[in-house]
Amino acid sequence: MRHASNENPVLDNPRLAGLTSWDADWSGLRVVVAGIGVSGFAAADTLIELGALVTVVDSGDGERNRQSADTLKIVGAVDVVLGADAMARVPDVRGQRPDLVVTSPGIRPTNPLLEAAREEGIQIWGDVELAWRVSERRGRRTPQWLCITGTNGKTTTVGMTASILQAAGLKAIAVGNVGTPILDALRDPVEYDVLAVELSSFQLHWTHSLSPLASAVLNVAEDHVDWHGSFENYRADKSRVYENTRIACVYNAEQEGAEELVEAADVVEGCRAVGFTTGMPGLSMVGVVEELLVDRAFVEDRATSAAEIGAVSDTGPLPTRHGVANALAAAALARAAGVEPEAVRDGLRAFHPGGHRIEVVAETDGVRWIDDSKATNPHAAQASLSAFDPVVWIAGGLSKGVDYDELVRANAARLKAVVVIGTDDAALLGSLARLAPEVPVLAGTPGQGTSAETTLDEPSIDPADGHAVMRRAVQLAAQRVTPGDTVLMAPAAASMDQFTDYADRGDAFARSVREELGLA
């Protein structure tokens, strides 16, 4: 690891460089906020409270955006521009060029407004950068940040981390990409001791001065290539979470190249690299010994001893290798924050994962039906596919430009049948045809690619009607199962082609299963 200064890097704009606390002089700062969704709204609301001059722009002009605009105008003086041309250029703020653009994480760097801002030399921050800069506030406790990113497992791990911290008696909350904006937590009347922060690659792309107490990259696999432009760019943005880390950079010792990301990071003097593994831990690692979770990183004599911090059975009702890895990463982050071993165990036992992540929907006649709708990429799907055998797999959706060959190759032997849903099926069907030619592939979406067969009459279903497609997929899966099988809905793709989001997709699966089994 390379050591960085404790000071935040000096940015080109002297005014912005001095904005490192809530109590700095934000008044009159001219800011364009790009996006009026959850994070954009929180950023605009915060900046208005700080006294900045704010213009909010969003290309969407739906009812929700108009309601958000009206709310912001009630909060304070703000200009809001909605519509298709709103983000075609960098707007003036009260007749002058802006000092800063704060962008929502989903907006691509190639967006015309962001490209124009770069060309004009206007600094671009994300909501996370803004949150870090206002984290310190006179008269309030400054929370420590434990930051978590990865292709798969972020939400589970950040929830586990928060639960462990709470079990230790700390005021802690899971924030960031998990749903609650960091800025909302910082303005909460509750003064938090620690924030467990889930960070997406989109959010990390726009961070500049973040300096967490501890940070973790759970894993990196191909995802969001369409947003980042290449896997290399995606991986580089993930690794930004390690920059300026103060106590521990937590890495996946089982993933090739993971430790290299830590070694390349500029960290604060004294920061350590701490690995996690589902096998026997080495020096300065956490891992598993005879079904026990153990710590060889945060004990006084780590060369010859280890501390028991829990058991594999504490990680959930259906322990998987991936789930154990998440628990160990959470434990390492919490231990870096000074949490005692007993609190790790108690926090893991108290944690209840959110829905749609390897969730048993029904178990009847010797068949398990499992919802893993949150598996929105191949790496996430691998975590659940590898835990069951044999499997009738329901998969497909928006592929986001990823490749399915590795996933299909690794699991072909356990696949009894595959039911393909979604409207962007070419890549998945191609991988199945090449690498699992003996596995029956059934068309969940009517009119699907020619390599998919069906055993149901072609119904009058709109391919965009995800709920009807899911009912059909469940019916097809039911025709293929026998006692001992698992039906696993782990799409390895995004959901927005046929559903509102992954939760809507998971709910549709659960409802269809109950209807099919007569449990509704």
* Cα gap 289→325, rounded to integer Å: 13
Q: Residue 192: which of 177, 208, 213 has the closest Cα?
A: 213
Query: Does residue 122 contact residue 101 with C-beta atoms inside 8 Å?
Result: yes
* Residues in contact with 67: Cβ distance below 8 Å, sequence separation at least 6, in sequence order: none
- The listed CATH number (3.30.70.100, 1.25.40.10, 3.90.190.20, 3.40.718.10) that belongs to domain 359-515: 3.90.190.20
Which CATH superfamily is 29-127 part of? NAD(P)-binding Rossmann-like Domain (3.40.50.720)
Q: Which residues of 247-267 are buried (b: 16+ CB within 10 A; e: fewer)?
A: bbbbbbbebeebbebbeebeb
Using 50, 70 and 90 to split pLDDT, how confident is the model at 353? confident
Q: Which CATH number is associated with domain 135-350?
A: 3.40.1190.10
* Residues in contact with 59: Cβ distance below 8 Å, sequence separation at least 6, in sequence order: 82, 83, 84, 85, 86, 87
The two structure tokens encoding residue 149: 């990113």
Three-state secondary structure call for residue 62: coil
The CA–CA distances, whole Å, from 461 to 35, 293, 457 equal 35, 49, 11
Q: Is 155 annotated as a binding residue?
A: yes
The two structure tokens encoding residue 188: 């909460």
Alpha-helical (H) ranges within 394-465 are 405-411, 426-435
Q: Which residues of 24-42 are buried (b: 16+ CB within 10 A; e: fewer)?
A: bebeebbbbbbbbbbbbbb
Q: Residue 48: which of 124, 139, 134, 117 has the closest Cα?
A: 134
Q: How far apart are the first and last CA of the chain?
A: 55
CA dihedral (146, 149, 150, 152) positive or negative: positive
Q: Is 376 annotated as a binding residue?
A: no
Q: What is the largest CA-CA distance in the chain?
A: 70
Which one-letter DSSP state was computed for residue 93?
B
Quickly count: other Cβ atoms within 10 Å of residue 503's Cβ: 15
Using the predicted structure, report yes or no on whether residue 386 has a pLDDT greater than 50.
Answer: yes
Q: Is 455 annotated as a binding residue?
A: no
Query: What is the per-residue pLDDT for 458?
Result: 54
Query: Does residue 155 contact residue 198 with C-beta atoms inside 8 Å?
Result: yes
Query: What is the per-residue pLDDT for 5?
Result: 40
The CA–CA distances, whole Å, from 399 to 168, 291, 423, 493 equal 41, 36, 10, 5
Using the predicted structure, report yes or no on whether residue 459 has a pLDDT greater than 60.
Answer: no
Q: Which H helix or E strand runs over 351?
A: none
Backbone φ and ψ for 431, nearest 5 degrees, come out as: -65, -40
State the burial class of residue 116 (Cβ atoms within 10 Å of its Cβ: 0-12, 13-18, 19+): middle
Using 50, 70 and 90 to split pLDDT, how confident is the model at 10? very low
Using 50, 70 and 90 to split pLDDT, how confident is the model at 447? low
CA angle (270 as vertex; 220, 209 as ends), nearest 5: 60
What string of H, E and C letters represents the secondary structure of 450-503?
A: CCCECCCCCCCCCCCCHHHHHHHHHHHHHCCCCCCCEEEECCCCECCCCCCCHH
**Which pairing describes strands 441-443 and 415-420: parallel, antiparallel, or unpaired?**
parallel
Using the predicted structure, report yes or no on whether residue 175 has a pLDDT greater than 90.
Answer: yes
Backbone φ and ψ for 162, nearest 5 degrees, come out as: -60, -40
pTM of the model: 0.81
Using the predicted structure, report yes or no on whether residue 7 has a pLDDT greater than 60.
Answer: no
Using 50, 70 and 90 to split pLDDT, how confident is the model at 380? confident
Q: Is 156 annotated as a binding residue?
A: yes
Residue ranges per structural domain of the chain: 29-127, 135-350, 359-515
The two structure tokens encoding residue 262: 């830590």
Using the predicted structure, report yes or no on whether residue 58 has a pLDDT greater than 50.
Answer: yes
Using 50, 70 and 90 to split pLDDT, how confident is the model at 259? very high
462 sits in the region (left: phi over 0; alpha: psi -120 to 50; else beta) called beta
Q: Is 153 annotated as a binding residue?
A: yes
Using the predicted structure, report yes or no on whether residue 274 has a pLDDT greater than 50.
Answer: yes
